A = this chain, B = another copy of it.
């Protein structure tokens, strides 16, 4: 499925300097830690120096100043903006999904197990594999190369994008989307956004239930993962490369930003938001409508939200909240004054 490109083809697109042979075949893009010897990777910030030191990539898009961070086995490909170069090259490996012939609802090479029930208007893309006893609701769409485990049910209007994988005994509620593109863009010199094509997929375990109107984005390079037994309520946004452990429960309207990982049995209250690149430990409980902006290394209950008050009271508290830093300074000043002997003060 993944095509190879000769180094010189890619270099013609983005320029830069690299001592790879012109005909060297690059199989794809990969992160520093998952790259193999025919992959191209990229280093965008020196905080990834550890992964750089141990990467197996054939070459790494890199700034001139970072070249020393690479191991001897990985050649530097020196460019001005490695992230932008990666974005430009990502288009080479993008999956063109809407190429189905409209005259066929079920692609000729799709494989359907025994006892599969397809609702009216359901559509199945090329080479998709659908397990035994899977039920597909009216108008649902299973993309090319997708895999649906046995005994799973997709309700009406569900969209499984190309190459995504669902496990067994799953249930996905109406109009949910699994495998939409992650939100990845690099800024060019004109401050416009250049799309980073999302080359990963979504992998979902067994006994997973997903509510209505959830958006589970595919990974940028690696996959987005939801593990066995986890349950998602409605209207949940899971960004690219999020990894969710087993037996978690996420209430409605939760949003999780890119590359964050949740351990097992994590519970997230409705409307909570978790920023990207965080690690949430097993058995953490997050309160409704909290913003989680830092990793949580051990089990326990976390959160926080502005408390409910009569509106006028809330407005007054919010006004004072803005003054908090100065109020604290004034309190400290008072403490200094009161702490002094009274004789000194009255001078």
- Interface set, chain A 189-214, CB cutoff 8 A to B: 191-193, 195, 207, 209, 211-213
27 contacts between A and B (CB under 8 A): A97-B155, A100-B117, A100-B119, A102-B117, A121-B123, A123-B138, A123-B156, A155-B180, A156-B161, A157-B177, A159-B175, A171-B195, A175-B177, A180-B211, A213-B235, A251-B257, A253-B273, A270-B275, A275-B288, A287-B311, A290-B308, A294-B308, A302-B308, A304-B317, A320-B327, A323-B328, A330-B335
Binds B, one of A13-21, A27-35, A338-346: A338-346
Tell which of B183, B211, B229 touches A252, judged by Cβ atoms closer than 8 Å: B183
Across the two chains, which residue of chain B brings its CB closest to A98? B135
Provide the bound-state CA to CA distance between A177 and B175, in Å: 7
Across the two chains, which residue of chain B brings its CB closest to A102? B118
Tell which of B99, B252, B337 touches A117, judged by Cβ atoms closer than 8 Å: B99
Number of A residues whose C-beta is below 8 Å from B?
A: 116
Decide if A237 is an interface residue (CB 8 Å cutoff): yes
Across the two chains, which residue of chain B brings its CB closest to A104? B120
Decide if A292 is an interface residue (CB 8 Å cutoff): yes
Tell which of B98, B125, B215 touches A211, judged by Cβ atoms closer than 8 Å: B215
